[in-house]
Amino acid sequence: MATLPDKQKLLRNFSRCANWEEKYLYVIELGAKLPPLSEELRQDRYRISGCQSQVWIAMENSDGRVTFQGDSDAAIVKGLLTIVFILYSGMTPQEIVALDVRPFFAELELSQHLTPSRSQGLEAMIRAIRTNAAEL
């Protein structure tokens, strides 16, 4: 995920978007930067239930820090997944469990623009990541 912005740059980039349409396009652009997910990780055990789109999230504890891999078949959902990965990037499992990223989505002014099904999917992704981090 070296080509992805850090949290602060993400916030700056969103603040530069003039309207929802620009933010929407930026979310899709972020999703396009997510590295491809291998077929071996596209298994049911990595699939997130509660999302209307297909979403896979694989997490690994690497030297005390959690690394993420994931994908979605919907461009906007893949972008939202990328944002979640950026927000949790470089954290320990305990830090992930403790951090509620929902306020970041409000700060990015994304929450109020997501459809109910996308909001439920985002919630399912966050819940799955925090649950998996607790198990790591």
Quick: pLDDT tens for 44-79. 999 999 878 999 999 999 899 999 999 999 999 999
For residue 112, the model assigns a pLDDT of: 83
CA 121 to centroid of chain Cα atoms: 11
pLDDT band for position 2 (50/70/90)?
A: very low
Catalytic residues: 51
Structure tokens at 27: 């979310």
**Overall average pLDDT of the 83-110 stretch:** 93
Q: What tokens does 11 get?
A: 């916030």
| CB contact set of 109 (below 8 Å; sequence gap of 6+) | 14, 20, 23
Q: CATH 3.40.50.300: does it fit domain 7-135? A: no
Radius of gyration of the chain (CA): 14
pTM: 0.92
